[in-house]
Amino acid sequence: MSDDEEQYNPKSHKKLLQAISNLGNVQHIRKSTRDERQLQQDEFQLVKRNNTSEHAARAVGVSDLVQILRTSKHVETGKKLKNVHSSKKVLEKPLEKPAADRIKRKIGYEGVKKKLGRWDAIVAKQRSAETQIFPIPSDTIYINTAAHVKNLKGRIKSDLAKQLEASDQKLKELRKAQIGDTTDEKALAKQERELLQKKLTRDELFARRKELAYLKMRESQKSAKARMQNKIKSKKYHKLQKRQKILEQIKEFEQMQKTNPEAALEKLNALEKSRVLERASLRHKNTGTWAKNLQVRAKYDKDVRKDLAEQLSVSRQLTEKKIESDSEDEQMIKVETEASAPTDPFNPWTKGKTAKKVESQADSEDPNWRKYWTERNANEKLLAEHQADLETVKEEKQQEKPTKKQKTKSIKKKKANVTVENGWVVEEVKSSAKGQTIDDIFEKHEEDLRQKLSKKLEKLKKQAEILKQPKTKAKPLKKKRDELKNLKDLSFKKTKQRIEIDEPLNQEEEQVKPSLDVLNKLTSTEEAAAEPSADSAIDPNKVTTITVKQKMRDSDVMNDALADDEEADYDETDAAAERQLTISQAFEDDDIIADFNKDKTKESEIKNAEIQLAMPGWGSWAGAGISQEVMNRRNKRLLLKLAAPEKRRDENRDNLYINETTNKQARAHMVSSIPFPFKSLADYEASIRAPIGRNFVPETAFRMMTRPAVITRKGQVIEPMDESELLKPDRRLRHVVDRRIDRLPVKEKAKIK
Amino acid sequence: MKVKMISRNPDNYVRETKLQQHKIPRNYDPALHPLEGPREYVRALNATKLDRVFAKPFVCNLSGHRDGVACFGKHPKMLSTLATGAYDGEVRIWDLANRCSVRSFVAHDGFVRGIAYARNAEHFYTVGDDKTIKVWSSQAPEVGEDEEPVNTILSRHILQGISHNRKDNSFATCGEVCAIWDAKHNDPIKTLKWGVDTLHSISYNPVETNVLACCASDRSIILYDQREAQPLRKVVLTMKSNKLAWNPMEAFNFTVANEDCNLYTFDTRKLQTPLKVHFDHVSAVTDVDYAPTGKEFVSSSYDKTVRIYHAHQSHSRDIYHTKRMQHVVCVAWSLDNRYIFSGSDEMNIRMWKANASEKLGVVRPRERANFNYQEALKEKYAAHPQIKRIARHRQVPRHVLNAQRKMRSVKDKELVKEANVRKHSKKGTVPFVSEKRKHVIRQDV
């Protein structure tokens, strides 16, 4: 063995080798320890995981767990775990980071939007408020501190009080000694409680508690059920329920008939009585809330009127039934007498009779509903007939009209397609027309109105359809949702319109004309075509033309609103135009020019006028008629001759009217266009006309009307809107004026504003 | 000689109690007042004229900084305190009632970028160009002691602005990233990034306090939620926005001061079009601040003027300027809605009245009633041409006037050109684009 061999130590050699192989594995960078919480890991502190070494701890897998469980007594659990592991699908690969982030951002933004949307109502309210007070007044909470006040312990007692106390004590002791009663109620209660507690064993207590819990549960269940049932609005459900109830009652009744006939009879009587009562009651008259509501609507709606009429007729039937049974003959006579009178299908009183006439009396055995339906059908038939009749009447009249006006009405005639009936029918209607009463005229007008209404409705429907169509078309193209819709919906119309002037400040004397001119030029070409041709009849009083300023504004909201209004007004304007047309046609013969000239000469009417200034009796102190000559002379002296009237500037011009009363200087002070929030001249004029000064209105009104829009207090920090504002109930009004305004009836409020 | 005795019954003129008003026999029958309209008109005219006569908005000038004023910090509770930071790193605390600076110390190397008071106003935070956030006590140190920050936080990133949450103890800084900090930790709780180099302005929503917004150097405005791990949304405008201010009464509205001379009011829920574009400035708008009532805001501009706008109108209601005021860098509206502060390049801080012709000092009830009446009259007759002319007339510096003329002519030219193009091209090919839509380029999700 050489020295070298001797020196070779396998152990140390192995150690060396391991050290060499481990060289790469040694990590000089330690895993970072965090002393501050932070979400982001620094890239320089990332450490490689030590997987290569055998001693390093490996993460525990499911299979390991299963293995362990198999060996232990939990074999089943191990199986289950394995099953779960094998049967469940592997999660999908997560989205790429940018996509995932985008989704997160979207969700976050939606959340914030929703959160911000909570403020809509408050902001809308604040914006429409007539006066806003800052800082926003917070509600003061009053706590009754008196209830919690404790008496001072170290109270000094007077001698008298001490004596009284001592005597009281004595009395108590005496009582105890004599009767053995303890008036101390607290002690008594305590005793009782202790006794009760002693009596109950543990099981009993449990049982009692269970029972109580069960009861409580049942109660809550029942109440919940009841609440649910109360909330059900389904008519079908209620109908079914009612039917069930009736069935039950019938069953009961049948049973009773068998067992206790007397009681059954009684019940029958009771039923009969209730029916009678119901019939006698005014339930089916037009006094109920339903009927009243209908009455309001009846003015505008044909169907509603029909319903009302039906209702009335039903009530009449119900009330009349008894009489009917007594004397049928009388009725028959009545019907015969009234048959000749003109009938209105909407008059329930007459209609009932006609209906009866139509119906044979044999039908009277039918159940009520049957009768009702036959009647209704008959009514409808009648109505149709009636309408046809009316139309023929109209036709007749139109034919009667002189030829002069036929030209104007020809258009209308074309529209109405009237069926011409036989001569004899016409004759008959004529005769009835002769005996026309005011009612008939009204009826006819009503009919006209109805027709107009129905026409209008149709028109509206068509418009609505047209409006609907593009929307449905546009939907698939682009889903545009208005994010601020809620805010817009919540916003009120401002009660007090304040003029908003949103114009640049005029910094130079020369106005900002040039830009406007350009705009005008641009717009004028477009407007020229749209503008209607000037009317032949010009109102000389309207010298200045007033334009609505909103046209120039580009705010979307405003335009939308205007557009809506235009659509809404469409029909009205149409109608108005028609009306105007007819008026102008009606006054065709009148000479407008003559009138115009008359206007011109009106002012210069007092031509060469002389005014006698002498007063009767004045100067003739000795009585009347002393000397006619003197009187004449005096009268001559007192005769005031007016100077010749000034020549008008437009005297020799026939078709010119120069208003000489206007003041050029005043022109500079007059408004030429309606300022922004106002939409009509009338509104603006009204707002200007009402005075607000102390000299013209009472003090309180003055205070109310001059209240500033924003009130702030000096030296107070105005905090931003707080979350508590979201939950706040209506604030109690502090200011006297506010309270007084609040107390006013609605009408008065409208006046002030 | 006959002597006429003047005799008066004290019952006729002495009040029985202090609060008793004299009875004024008066008949309100409108027939007896045929000239009520004209009389009120004349009164309105006079009121408007007086309004302009008394319109002297400048209150005082606070001088002391030795470099341009960079930022303001409003004390959330005390109206008479204002903190200001300058370009040279100096911070001053002002006593506004006495118009003097109470404390002054150098807080940072380089610019002071932002000052924000904590919620309870016991501390305030400053950030500077030296990448530090410093916390200072609101109390001045004892005599003989040095000004030292309560805490100094070193940031990993550059800091450009700071804003404090109104309801809890967190605050946010912007710079390279938007970082949310907690008062008790020296590391940010959260950093929010969205591929932008610099965020130069940050602002917490004062109402919905988890929401905040930043203006970024890539012309965008970014919305954040303090609780979310990701930013919420980004809107890119045609030019850079310099500052952002939330409306303190309407949680979802904010206004940005833009480099293109305009301000834009947005609704957070509908960012594709601004609610309103506010014109009138002739140079980049540098700062904007809302009145605590949320009805108005004030903006400062590089054109050396301060303008006041109604929040829902596109033209300013007033303009403030003085001969000596240079580029206005920052502006603030006092929390009692009375005053406006403007800090400008030439080292001065100016205090203005928010309402130019308002009377300072005690106003007696009868005086108040009269002022109210005058206001109501002015409002009622606001549309009358003479009154409008007088009420809206302002004298402005020559350079503003010239710039305005230039801008107008440019705009007119563009309009004419567009009209011409439209006229000579196929119908419908040149669409009408509203002013609002022109300025928003895109919305990033």
In a domain, B370, yes or no: no
Pairing of β A547-548 and β A673-674: parallel
Which residues from B are below 8 Å from A498, CB to CB? Answer: 379
The values of phi and psi at residue B81, to 5°, are: -115, 135
Do A554 and B166 make contact, defined as CB atoms within 8 angstroms? no
What does the DSSP 8-state code read for residue A713? -
Whether B248 has its CB under 8 Å from any CB of chain A: the answer is yes
pLDDT of residue B419: 94
Q: Which two tokens stand for residue A283?
A: 């339930």
The reply to whether residue B383 touches residue A109, judged by beta carbons under 8 angstroms, is no
Is B346 an 8 Å CB contact of chain A?
Answer: no
Residue-wise pLDDT for A430-467, tens only, equals 344 444 566 777 788 888 888 888 888 888 888 777 76
pLDDT for position B182: 93
Specify if B365 maps to a domain: no
pLDDT per residue over A136-160, tens digit each?
A: 887 655 556 665 565 555 567 788 8
CB contact under 8 Å between B229 and A104, yes or no, is: yes
Percent of chain B residues past pLDDT 90, beyond the cut: 84
Nearest Cα residue in chain B from A724:
B207
Cβ partners under 8 Å of residue B247, min gap 6: B253, B254, B255, B290, B294, B311
**3-state class (DSSP) for residue B442:** strand
Q: How far apart are CA B86 and CA B107, in angstroms?
A: 10
A692 CB neighbours in chain B (<8 A) are 40, 373, 376-377, 380
Give the span between the Cα atoms of B320 and B298, in whole angstroms: 10
Judging contacts by C-beta atoms under 8 Å, the chain A residues touching residue B369 are 703, 706
B42 touches A at CB < 8 Å: no
Does the distance separating the beta carbons of B252 and A717 come in below 8 Å? no
What are the start-end ranges of the E strands in A24-157?
A: 132-134
Q: Give the position of tokens 């980004």.
A: B234
- Distance in Å, alpha carbon of A458 to nearest chain B alpha carbon: 34
**Do B187 and A38 lie within an 8 Å CB cutoff?**
yes
Contact in structure between A358 and A352 (CB atoms under 8 Å): no
B103 — contact with chain A (CB < 8 Å)? no
pLDDT at B301 over 50: yes
Residue B67 sits at the chain A interface (C-beta within 8 Å): no
Chain B residues in contact with A671 by the CB 8 A cut-off are 383-385
Q: How far apart are CA B70 and CA B82, in angstroms?
A: 13
> What pLDDT sits at residue A589?
58
Q: Which residues of B touch A502 (CB under 8 A)?
A: 310, 313-315
B118 token code pair: 């904590």
Strand partners, A747: none
Closest-CA residue of chain B to A503:
B315
Q: Measured between CA atoms, how close is A665 to chain B, in angstroms?
A: 12
Compare all CA atoms of chain A with the CA of B275 and give the residue at the minimum distance.
A555
B249, A123: Cβ pair inside 8 Å?
A: yes
Half-sphere exposure at residue B127, Cβ-oriented, CA atoms within 13 angstroms: 26
Residue B28 with chain A: CB contacts under 8 Å? 696-698
Q: Nearest CA of chain A to the CA of B214: how many Å? A: 15
- Name A679's Cβ contacts closer than 8 Å, sequence gap at least 6: A548, A550, A565
Question: In chain A, what residues touch B47 (CB-CB under 8 Å)?
Answer: none
Task: Enumerate the residues of chain A whose CB falls inside 8 A of the CB of residue B26.
Answer: 695
Structure ipTM = 0.91
CA separation for the pair A192, A185 (Å, rounded)? 11
What proportions of chain B, in percent to the nearest 5, are helix, strand and coil? 20, 35, 45
| CB contacts, 8 Å: B267 with chain A | 483-484
| CATH code, B271 | 2.130.10.10
* CB spacing of B293 vs A111 below 8 angstroms: no
Contact list, B30 vs chain A (CB under 8 Å): 696
Both tokens of B403, joined, read 């710039």
Concatenated DSSP letters for A144-159?
Answer: -GGGGPPPPSSPPPPH
Whether B147 is in a domain gets the answer yes
- Which residues does chain A have with pLDDT short of 50? 1-2, 323-366, 401-435, 471-478, 511-573
Q: Is residue B275 part of a domain?
A: yes
Which of A512, A522, A696 is the closest to B419 by Cβ?
A522
| Spatial CB neighbours of A171, under 8 Å, sequence gap ≥ 6 | none
C-alpha span between B301 and B279 (Å, rounded): 12
C-beta atoms of B314 and A706 within 8 A:
no
Measured between CB atoms, does B376 come within 8 Å of chain A? Answer: yes
Which of A126, A504, A719 is facing B280, going by the closest CB pair? A504
pLDDT tens across B328-369, in order? 999 999 999 999 999 999 999 999 999 999 999 888 888 899
Q: Which domain holds residue B301?
A: 58-353
Contact at CB, A708 and B187, closer than 8 angstroms: no
Q: Alpha-carbon distance A693 to B42, whole Å?
A: 12
Chain B contact set for A556 (CB, 8 A): 434
Give A-chain residues touching B411 at CB under 8 angstroms.
515
Count how many domains chain B has. Answer: 1
- Tell me whether residues B314 and A502 touch, CB distance under 8 A: yes
Closest in B43, B188, B230 to A105, CB measured:
B230
- The partner residue sitting opposite A501, judged by closest CB among B318, B382, B404, is B382
Residues A120, A487 contacting (CB under 8 angstroms): yes
Q: Is B292 on the interface with A (CB under 8 A)?
A: yes
Of B160 and A526, more confident = B160
In whole angstroms, give the CA distance from residue B157 to residue B132. Answer: 9
Name the amino acid, one letter, at A168.
D
Q: Do B280 and A505 make contact, defined as CB atoms within 8 angstroms?
A: yes
Coil, strand or helix: which one is A216?
helix
Residue B37 with chain A: CB contacts under 8 Å: 688-689, 691
Interface membership of B419 toward A (CB under 8 Å): yes
Indicate whether B429 belongs to any domain: no
In this predicted structure, what is the pLDDT of residue A512?
A: 44
What tokens were used for B101? 């600076």
The pairing of strands B199-204 and B211-216 is antiparallel
**Average of pLDDT values for B176-180?**
94
pTM of the prediction? 0.60
Q: What is the pLDDT of residue B337?
A: 94
